[in-house]
Amino acid sequence: MNIRISSASNPTFPSTAITLSHHLNSSPQLLGLLRAPSWKPPKAHPYSRLCAAYGLLVEVRQPLSGGGADGTAADAAASLRSADGGSSGTREACTAFYLTDTGVMLQESHPAQMKWLALMLGLPGHYVSRGYLYDNVKQGRMGFEAAFGSDWYSYVAQHPLESTAFDKAMTATSAAAAQSVALGYDFSRHGTVMDVGGGQGMLMTAILHHHPGVRAGYVLELPDVVARARSMGQRGLERLQYIEGDFFQPFPIAANCLVMRLVLHDWPDEEAAAVLRHARAALVRGVPGCRLVVVEAVLPELVGPGEVDAATLQQLEFDMGMMLMTTGRERTLGEWKALFASAGFRLDQLLKPEGSKLPIMVLEVLEVLESGPQDPKQQ
């Protein structure tokens, strides 16, 4: 199911959508607007309509005599009608809202956990920096730094709610994408696979689950991330190992296949190329068919009126967000190829896995390396 929530035009919308969803039961049914006690009904109604425009709710005409259980929904809607001078309905019917299947995904109990992505987009750390676009474009100063006086990662370290929302949003989106990536490429051809910057290990877990022929899967992460994630290795997945490291430094071990999902877009070309060169050195020497698998957005080379679908528009919005909040950016296919070539790689395959908005770019090394770390499974 596709869910698209943007804070570009209304930064309060994502968190409001969560609040509306929270006050509904888990099954789609009539919205009793007065269940949100801190809201006046006339204030809730415009947000409900905006949520309906985004496909989170559906607005219907509800006969007053046909209210929900115990009359709660009808009573709430009647109060709404009275409070706003009758603009919400007539004596015979009132305006009411049902939660859609997409809206259900914003509830805290939903396994997709999209609540955290919506919340993250509605918090100041994401939308305030948009007011500093001038500083970014004209002065070359990162919008986020102009707004908050620090970089994003330093900021979230000092703001627990935004840190929690960011971590859980990244976990939720990674969980949703892990299956499509694991099934979108034949990892079974490689004996060892390492996910570079792989976080909690969700993608590597999916790869090992779907490709039992992979002897070992490594997750390369910073020490504090590894400390939180190592418990996964104690739940019966013996082939999964967490490796402490920094992808801006030489990798401590090698593998037949390396994976990078949404790593390179965080960095400008110079830093991204440095990461790629370390990855190139970490591919096992003398093993034919070694590959680097990169999962990133690919922007269109040209953008014209009527030529952009919803997924591409979202990627363009993310590109502006990357520009404002980090030093990174999204790239076109031509820009990706140039970046790969600068680090000694060539694009071998461009795959589009089912159920994923992000393509898989499979890279091969341009020439054989003379030195590099050793794969512990081959020693």
Burial of 236 (0-12, 13-18, 19+ CB in 10 A): exposed
Residue range 198-206: mean pLDDT, rounded = 91
What per-residue string of b and e applies to 189-212 under the rule 16 or more CB within 10 Å gives b? ebbbbbbbbbbbbbbbbbbbebbe
SS3 348: strand
Concatenated DSSP letters for 210-256? H-TT--EEEEEE-HHHHHHHGGGGGTT-TTEEEEE--TTS--SS-BS
Containing H/E element for 100? none
Residue 212: phi, psi to the nearest 5?
A: -60, -15
> Looking at residue 377, what is its pLDDT?
55
Bridge partners of 12, per DSSP, are none
Cα angle at 354 between 323 and 338, to 5 degrees? Answer: 40
Whether the pLDDT of residue 33 is over 70: the answer is no
Q: Residue 22 and residue 119: Cα distance in Å, rounded?
A: 12
Whether the pLDDT of residue 79 is over 60: the answer is no
Coarse DSSP helix, strand, coil percentages of the chain, rounded to the nearest 5 percent: 45, 15, 35
pLDDT, one tens digit per residue, over 103-127 is 877 777 777 777 888 888 888 888 8
Residue type, 118: A
Q: Is 135 or 272 the better-scoring residue by pLDDT?
A: 272
Percent of the chain with pLDDT over 70: 73
Q: Is 116 or 363 the better-scoring residue by pLDDT?
A: 363
- Average pLDDT value for the chain: 78
Residue range 246-251: mean pLDDT, rounded = 97
CA atoms within 13 A on the CB side of 373: 18
DSSP code, position 108: T
Q: Which residue has the tokens 């009359």?
A: 71
Q: Residue 196 and residue 132: Cα distance in Å, rounded?
A: 32
For the domain 159-378, what is the CATH superfamily, name and number? Vaccinia Virus protein VP39 (3.40.50.150)
Token pair, residue 373, equals: 């770390």
Q: Residue 120 and residue 126: Cα distance in Å, rounded?
A: 7
Residue range 63-91: mean pLDDT, rounded = 45
pLDDT, one tens digit per residue, over 310-336 is 888 888 888 888 888 888 999 999 999
SS3 339: helix
Q: Residue 273 and residue 341: Cα distance in Å, rounded?
A: 9
> If you count them, how many residues does the chain have?
379
Q: Where are the domain boundaries for CATH 3.40.50.150 in the chain?
A: 159-378
CB atoms within 10 A of CB 287: 16
> Looking at residue 82, what is its pLDDT?
42
Least confident of 29-43, 178-192, 290-304, 306-320: 29-43
Q: Residue 157 and residue 226: Cα distance in Å, rounded?
A: 17
